[in-house]
Amino acid sequence: MLENEEVVVDGRSLRTPWNMKRSEPRIAAVWVLPWAWILLAMMGAADRRVEVPIDAQGRVAVSRIVASLADATGVQIKPPDADLTLPVRGLSGSLGRSLLSDSLGKDVEVEFEEGTVVFQVPDGLGRGASAVSWRGRLEELSAKTEEAASSRARHVLQARPSYRPNDPSRPTVCLVHGLNSSSGGFAFMIPLLEEAGYGVVTFDYPFNQRLDDSCEQFRSDWVAFRERVGERRSWSLLGHSMGCLVARAYIEGPGKEAGDVDSLILIAPVNGGAHIARLQPVLQMIGRFTAVRGRKTTRALSQLADGSEGAADDMLPGSPFLTRLNRRPRNEAVPYHIIAGNIGLLTIDGRKQIEDQLDLMGRNSGPFGFLTQLASTEVLPILDELTDGTGDGAVTVEATRLKGAPDPVLVAANHAELIRAPILFSDPGPVVTMPWILSWLKEDHAARPAANPERPAPRD
């Protein structure tokens, strides 16, 4: 008789019965192995713990996630080259975790710990029946990351086919978009400019990043582009909304002495700030949530990678950015032109109804009335931006004014329709501001010679 003979199955110890004999190996196998597999199934195969470090900004690189998981599961794939990171903190971090969980599948658990993202990977994942599907998930995440990064790579100053460097017969207009937009926002205006004989260059940038970063990116791209093509003639700058601040920061800052801008056209500029910018974080979070829950992986990766809502903070009235910018003197060598819209999203009667309701609730005694009065101080300035006559749905007419620049030309249009055809108008449709724009471009360009080729390019 063999007493308590030990049998090891997959690293776990089992013991034979007291009366098991060496001469009965087949009986032993029949008796022991079923129980071993039952115990193993009950205990579960050990998960592998894969850790990916979080950077100093509280973000994690998708390329490192793909590479680490591929290595841990023995899958040979090329991780994305793109330097794209996801947040791990706050509500955006929760959305990032949901995005990763959906992309990697229900078998992989994702947890955020101090300084690291932890992936609990089943021991058999990537082998046998799961090999093809797991490889496909990693490849798809890698491909979607590259797609998202390629859209971000378009954040540059780039020329349309209409652009011709140093051609006096085709002056150049550079377009700078605003918040929640891109150069695509000028889709109605561009063909009209080109038909009028102008070459078009557009500047795209991450609209949520800090405006100091956007302004530096514009300066850098502007200088690099003009040096690369050997441009010596001055251009016109046309900005919409927040893009006006980026354009102003160049000609009133590092580009003030460059002589490479012959006209500045500001359409619905946020010179005095916009209270409605307080809603931007909410709008951005809604967009991210919709993309994640709708499993629009590429869009979700792009939006989550865009980072914080710094631009919205910079556009609030009295922000440090606006205070610094507005303290600068105007560039006397460049003509300024401002267009403001006075058709909002609320009629005057509609605004009065809202104000009456706020007034009624504010008369209540107790904490509710006090809170209503407190909220009214935040709501009323936003109503100015939204109401016909005082705003265009985003910016008040008063906020477009700029000390040292001409008063704005008032146009009966809302914020978006100042640079595009009316929303319900069939494509391509008219752009109501074009008569003023074309007149100013012609006048300013005729009065300005080519930029001095000997003058050094602007630096920091």
- For 389-438, write each residue's pLDDT tens digit: 999 999 999 999 999 999 999 999 999 999 998 876 666 678 999 999 99
127: tokens are 């082998």
Compute the distance between CA of residue 154 and CA of residue 192 in angstroms, rounded to an integer. 23
Q: How many CB atoms neighbour CB 254 within 10 A?
A: 20
Compute the distance between CA of residue 146 and CA of residue 168 in angstroms, rounded to an integer. 40
Strands (E), 100-147: 109-113, 116-121
Write out the H or E segment, with its range, that includes residue 338. Answer: strand 336-341
Tell me whether residue 265 is exposed, middle or buried, using C-beta atoms within 10 angstroms of its C-beta: 0 to 12, 13 to 18, 19 or more. Answer: buried
- For 427-441, write each residue's pLDDT tens digit: 667 899 999 999 999
Which residues lie closer than 8 Å to 42 by C-beta, 6 or more apart? none
Alpha-carbon distances of 230 from 167, 220, 226, 434, rounded to whole Å = 12, 15, 6, 30
Compute the distance between CA of residue 260 and CA of residue 165 in angstroms, rounded to an integer. 13
What band does 26 get if pLDDT is binned at 50, 70 and 90? very low
User: Radius of gyration (Cα) for the chain, nearest Å?
Assistant: 31
Q: What percent of the chain has pLDDT over 70?
A: 81
What band does 169 get if pLDDT is binned at 50, 70 and 90? very high
186: tokens are 């000028």
Strand-pairing partners, residue 102, are: none
Give this prediction's pTM.
Answer: 0.77
Whether residue 24 is predicted with pLDDT greater than 80 in this model: the reply is: no
- For 72-107, write each residue's pLDDT tens digit: 999 888 888 887 899 888 888 899 899 999 999 988
Q: Which residue has the higher pLDDT, 306 or 79?
A: 79
Strands (E), 85-198: 85-87, 109-113, 116-121, 157-159, 172-176
